[in-house]
Amino acid sequence: MIYFDNAASTAPLKEVIEAMNETYKTAWANPSSIHTEGQRARVAIENARDKVAEVLSAKSSEIFFTSSATEAINLMIPLIVESNQIQNIITSHTEHPAILKTLQSLKNINIQYVKLDKNGEVELAHLDEVLSNNSKKTLVALMHANNEIGNLLPIKKVVEICKKHQALFFCDMVQTIGKYKVDLEKLQVDFAVASAHKFHGPKGNGILYIKSGKKYAPLLLGGSQERNMRSGTENISGIVGTAKALEEFEKHFEDRSKHIENLKKYCVKKLIENFPEVSFNGTSQNGGLYNLINFSLPLKNISRQAIDMKFDMAGIAISQGSACSSGVNQLSEIVKIVHGEKSNAIRVSLSFDNKIEEIDKFIEVIKTKFMNIN
Ligand code: PLP
C-alpha cells in the first residue's frame, strides 16, 4: 500500500515501538509510588519531558503531557479564558474543529474571525486592525499550519502583533511540531499544542506547552499528576514514545525533510505536466508545508467517498482533507473558502518513507482510473 495520508497520522517508528515496549517491561509501576519500581517509572517520564523540552527549546517545567492535542485544546482554552478574564477571542474559520468547537462552546465571549486572503492566508493587517479596535482582554487562537491545504502562518509576525496589543496567543502546532525545527523560547507563543501521532509517535499522546510565568488551575482533578495540571496515572510508554519520536525527528531532520521536499516538488511537476487542468488549493503548489499538496482536478460525477475508495482499490491511501471529515460527502470549509465549490480536493501528505516511484504510480492511477488517459 502506498501511504499518502501522513497529515492524518504517521506510522510509529521502530525506535518508538522498541522504546515503548521496553518501558512496558521495565517502567510499568505507578510513577507516584515512592518505591524503586515507581521511581523508575517517574524517571522515565521526567527524562522524556526533558527530551521534549530540549527538542522544542522550552523549559521542562513548560511541558505537560495530555492524551491528545484535542484534550489539551478543550481543557486549556476555557482555563486561559477564566484565569485571564478573556472577553474576546480572535480566530479563523479554517481552524481545526477541536479549536472551533471549543471556542463556540464558551459562554459570554465575543468571537471574531480574522479575514483570509484568496489563498486562505490570514490577513495580518486585519488581525492588527481588529486588535487595535479592541480594548478588552483578548486571546488569539490560530494554527501554525493548516492540516488540509498546508498554508503556513507567519508565526513570528503574529506574535509581534499580539504583543503590541497585549493579547495572548494560543497556537495549534499539530502539523508543524515534529516536522520543523521549532524554538519555543525564541518564538514567544504563550501556549502551543502538538500531537505525537503526527510525527511518527504513538496515538493518544499530546503535548501542551505553557510559557513560564503563567499559573493555571488543573485541567483534570484527582491525584495531582503532571505537577497538579492533569490528574490521572500517566501513560508512561506513550510519553516515552513521544519523546523518542521527537529525538528521532531531530536526529534525521536535515535528510528527511530534504527528501520529502524533493518528493513534493516532483509530484507538483508531474501533476502539472500530466494534467494541465490541475489547480492547487491554498499555497501548496510552491509554498506551505513541505510535506503536503492539495489539488483539484475536473472530475465529473464522482463523490468524495468514491474518489477515496477508488484510490484505495488502486493501493493508495489518500484523503481529501481532514480525517475528521472523511466519509462526509462535502467539501471542507477551507477548500470552499479558498477555491469555491469545486467537486474535489485531493490531499497528498508525505513522509520520509515515501519514494519517487510511488509518486509515479499515483500519477498513473489518476491517468488511468480517473482521467481515462491510457
Ligand atoms: N489540530 C490539528 C491542526 C490537527 O491536524 C489535529 C489532528 O488531526 C488536531 C489538532 C487534533 O490532534 P489529536 O489527534 O492529537 O487530537
Q: Is the pLDDT of residue 297 over 60?
A: yes
Running DSSP on this structure, what letter comes out for residue 251? H
**Can you tell me which atom of ligand 1 is nearest the CA of 322?**
8
What gap in Å lies between CA 160 and CA 116, rounded to an integer? Answer: 19
**Quick one: what percent of the chain has pLDDT higher than 70?**
95
Predicted local distance difference test score (pLDDT) of residue 197: 98
Ligand 1 proximity of 195 Cβ (cutoff 6 Å): yes
pTM of the full structure: 0.96
Pocket test for ligand 1, best of 144, 147, 203, 235 (most atoms within 8 A of CB): 147
Q: Which amino acid is at 133?
A: N
Residue 216 has a pLDDT of: 85
State the average pLDDT over residues 290-317: 93
For residues 314, 293, 99, 45, the Cα torsion angle rounded to the nearest 10 degrees is: 80
Domains and CATH numbers, the chain: 2-9+253-370 (3.90.1150.10), 14-248 (3.40.640.10)
How far is ligand 1, taken at its centre, from the CA of residue 213, in Å?
26
Per-residue confidence at 323, pLDDT binned at 50, 70, 90? low
Instruction: Say whether 171 is catalytic.
Output: no
Residue with CA nearest ligand 1 atom 8: 8
Q: Note whether 148 and 322 are within 8 A (CB).
A: yes
pLDDT tens readout for residues 181-206: 999 999 999 999 999 999 999 999 99
Write down the mean pLDDT value for the chain: 94
- The stretch 228-237 carries a mean pLDDT of 96
The arithmetic mean of pLDDT across residues 322-339, rounded, is 63
Task: Name residue, grid cell 522524556.
Answer: 48
pLDDT computed for residue 261 by the predictor? 98
Q: Do 330 and 304 touch, CB atoms closer than 8 A?
A: yes
- Give the confidence band of 305 by pLDDT, cuts at 50, 70, 90: confident
pLDDT at 341: 67
Residues 6+ apart with CB under 8 A from 95: 141, 142, 143, 172
Q: What is the mean pLDDT of residues 283-287?
A: 94
pLDDT of residue 5: 97
